[in-house]
Structure 1
Amino acid sequence: MDQPVYSAAAPRILIVDSSRNNLAVLARRLGAEGYRVMVAETATTALGELQRVPVDLLIADLALPLMSGTELTRVVRRELAWRDLPVILISGRSEADGVVRALAAGADDVVVKPFHFEVLTARIARLLERSTRVRQLAADNATLDERVVRRAIELGEARDRLKALEAELGRVG
């Protein structure tokens, strides 16, 4: 089997699942799609990885031991640095209540097993595209904020010069 060719710009995906088999299958398949894949068996390990390395998307099992995928999502959403990180949770059952709780916690999507891998990759691509647009919008907003501040300073300086000219005219005239 050919090894995937990774680009330094390829999105990095962190997969969290307590099943080594599930991790291996997802990592192999997503790696073959050209994604840079990291894996963690627990939510705690995943949080450590998120602090260590920038990640573009998080995929986690809903039923993780100790800290569920839903709770992991809540923790991620509370952190400013990860607030916009796309999160997909994978549920082993089609229980509507768990899906609703996951979405309420801030998950962007919930995929129910068994799923078609092509559907998962389409959802990943959609979320990564949206994430790129959100980051670009934030950068554009920061640029606009910078321009507004610069213009406000320039306006204040012009106002000060105008007052000085008016005062000079008052003394002369």
Structure 2
Amino acid sequence: MSADLPRVLVVEDEPAQREVLSYNLEAEGFAVSRAETGDEALILVEEDAPDIMVLDWMLPGVSGIEVCRRLKMRPETRAMPIIMLSARSEEVDRVRGLETGADDYVIKPYSVVELMARVRAQLRRTRPAAVGQQLDYDDIHLDAETHRVTRGDLPLKLGPTEFRLLSTFMEKPGRVWSREQLLDRVWGRDIYVDTRTVDVHIGRLRKALCQHGGSDPVRTVRGAGYALG
């Protein structure tokens, strides 16, 4: 998957529905991967966890509700938003889906436009920079839509990789990111990059953030990785 675009995994066993969903998500600027079964979805998440999953309830083999339950039980995928799609419209079914951990529940047939809005709403909560939101940390302001960064109202010059690194840090200040996690988020798994490259770009980011003075907000956590603040 592309490292620049917000990543969506569509899990739908009906080919026409899967392609319609994928086409519209790609047209909205998402990087889309596809799965036909629950087992395939679990494997894909294990290999490269997406930013959000659109998951059909009725799947061959492992059901969507079981996929949701398993992912929400795992600490590494618990925070990943899951939008459940289902023809089950009874209140008891909606409650079951949400209690299993789904972040949203959409009844078939659904409006594609509304579903796109729901996907963006979930991403605003977990990956705000990916959907063009503005982020602030201390005196640093990042506008993801215009790709502009300021510190203390002074513009900062950042390369594209340093911008993606800063976006990642500013979405979750205080979180410690390992080099491997930063490689997955910023460079993507489709490209081989040595982990030492992360250190090089962290150095460039630090220099850019301090180009007008001020303290370095990027913290090195020995043996673990890097964090903002």
TM-score by length of 1: 0.73
The residue correspondences of 1:114-129 to structure 2 (distance < 5 A) are 114-129=109-124
Deviations 1:125-165 (A, max 9, x none): 110010126x868842347xxx8x9xxxxxxxxxxxxxxxx
Alignment-derived partner of residue 89 in structure 1 = 84
Unpaired segments ≥5 residues, structure 1: 1-5, 150-173
Q: 1:102 to 1:11 in 2, by over 3 A?
A: same
| Distance in 2, Cα, partners of 1:72 & 1:140 | 30
Alignment-derived partner of residue 43 in structure 2 = 48
Aligned structure 1 segments of 4 or more residues deviating by more than 3 angstroms: 135-139
Percent identical pairs in the alignment equals: 36
Q: 1:138 to 1:132 in 2, by over 3 A?
A: closer
| 2:16 partner SS | helix
| 2:83 partner SS | strand
More helix by share: 1
Q: 1:101 to 1:82 in 2, by over 3 A?
A: same
| 2:20 partner SS | helix
More strand by share: 2
- Asked if structure 1 preserves the Cα contact closer than 8 Å seen for 2:51 and 2:81, the reply is yes
1:14 aligns with 2:48: no
Deviations 1:17-72 (A, max 9, x none): 11111111111111111111100000110011011113000011111122221111
Alignment-derived partner of residue 141 in structure 1 = 174
Unpaired segments ≥5 residues, structure 2: 129-167, 177-218, 222-229
Number of matched pairs: 141
The residue correspondences of 1:99-118 to structure 2 (distance < 5 A) are 99-118=94-113
| 2:79 partner SS | coil
1:7, CA displacement in angstroms? 6.8
Let me know the Cα RMSD of the aligned residues.
2.5
| 1:80 partner SS | coil
The residue correspondences of 1:16-35 to structure 2 (distance < 5 A) are 16-35=11-30
